[in-house]
Structure 1
C-alpha cells in the first residue's frame, strides 16, 4: 500500500513538472531616439499650435512578441514649435518653456513609466502608465500599436492635472477667445 502511494506521488510530481513550461524571458528593446518622434498639438479657441519634443531615452519591454512594459524620458529643453517661423516661433517656444507652462529650467525632463499592458487586438494594446510632468505624476491610459520594430501611440494629456495653468478655463474665468484648452495631444512614433 505504501509502495503504491509512493508511486502515485512520484507520478503526480513528474506529471506536474513535465507540464510546466519555462516562462519566456522578458526582453528590453531600446528606442532609437534619432529615428523616433514625439509630436505635440495644443488647441485654443482661435486655432492650434504644434511642434515636437525629443526623446532622451526609452525602451519597450516584451515577453516573446507581447508588449509588457516600457519607460521613456523626454528632454523638455528640446520643445519646439514647427507651425511658426521667425519671431513668433521664438516667442511661443520661450513662453512654453517658461513658468507659465512647463517651467523647463526647473523641470527639464518629463517621464512615462508603463505600469500595465492589456492586449486589445492583434498588435494593439491598452497601455496604462505613470506620466510625470513638472514633477507631478498622474496615471494615463492610451492605445499603442506595435508592428515589427515600430510602435505608435496617441496620448491625450490634460495639462491642468500637471499645474500648467496659463490660459486655462479650469483655473481662470472670462478668458473668452484667449482660452487655451486643457487637453493636448502627443503623437508618438517609435523605432527600436
Structure 2
C-alpha cells in the first residue's frame, strides 16, 4: 500500500511539473528599440526602426519561443538631418532597399532555442524581409522583463543588392557592405 501511495504521489508530481503552462509575454513596443547600422567603404549610417508587435514565450522562466513584426515604413536615419536624412530615409524605403510600399512589415519567428545558461539563449529563427524568408542565428539575453540581442543580416539574401560589391563591379568607394547590424532591446 505504501508503494502504491508513493507511486501515486510521484505520478502527480511528474504530471504537475510536465504540464507547466507556457506563458506568452507581449513586448511593450513603446519601450523597446531596434537600432541599425549599415556600413559602406567610406563610412556608415545608423538609425532606428520600430517594432509593430511581438511576444516572447516562456515555459516557467525558460525562453521557448517568440515572434515579432517590424514596421519597415518606420526606418529612420539618426546620423543625418535635414535634406540628407530625408533623401536617405526615402531611398531605404524604395525598391532599391526595403520596398516598404509593397512590403510594409518584416517578421522574425523563433524556430529553435538552445539554453546556454545565465539567461543566454542561442536562437535560430526565420527572418522574412521583402517576402523572402531565410534562417538566421543569434544570441538573446533575458534579464527580468527585458531582453537584448544583436543580429547581423545579409541583405542580399532578401534581394537587396543595391550598391553590393558582391553583385556589381566598379563601385569603388560607393560600395555598401552586404551585412547590416541590428541591436535590439525588448521590454515586456
Structure 1 and Structure 2 fold alike (TM over 0.5):
yes
Q: Pick from 15, 22, 31: which aligns with 1:21?
A: 15
Q: How does 1:133-148 map to 2 (within 5 A)?
A: 133-148=129-144
Distance in 2, matches of 1:174 and 1:50, equals 25
Q: Which of 42, 47, 72 pairs up with 1:51?
A: 47
Distance in 2 (alpha carbons) for counterparts of 1:190 and 1:39: 12
Q: Partner of 2:178 in structure 1?
A: 182
Rounded to whole Å, the distance in 2 between the matches of 1:177 and 1:72 is: 35
RMSD: 1.7
Other-structure match for 2:63:
67
SS in 1 for 2:49: strand
Relative to 1, partners in 2 of residues 1:92 and 1:26: Cα closer, same or farther, differing over 3 Å? same
C-alpha deviation, 1:20, in angstroms = 2.1
Task: Give the aligned partner of residue 4 of structure 1.
Answer: none
2:159 counterpart residue number:
163
The residue number in structure 2 matching 1:89 is 85
C-alpha separation in 2, matches of 1:30 and 1:130: 19
Matches of 1:139 and 1:14 in 2, distance apart?
A: 45
CA distance in 2, matches of 1:134, 1:81: 20
Residue 159 of structure 1: how far off its partner (Å): 0.2
The residue aligned with 1:130 is: 126
Question: How do 1:27-42 and structure 2 match up within 5 A?
Answer: 27-42=23-38
SS at match of 2:110: strand
* Structure 2, unaligned runs of 5 or more: none
| 1:45-95 deviation line (CA, Å, top 9, x unaligned) | 000000000000000000000100000000001110000000000000000
Structure 1 residue 107 displacement after superposition: 0.3
Mapped partners of 2:44, 2:178: distance in 1: 12
Pair member with larger Rg:
1
Equivalent residue runs for 1:96-135 within 5 Å: 96-135=92-131
Deviation at 1:174, TM superposition (A): 1.7
> What CA distance in whole angstroms lies between the structure 1 residues aligned with 2:22 and 2:6?
30
Where structure 1 has 5 or more consecutive residues not aligned to the other structure, the ranges are 1-6
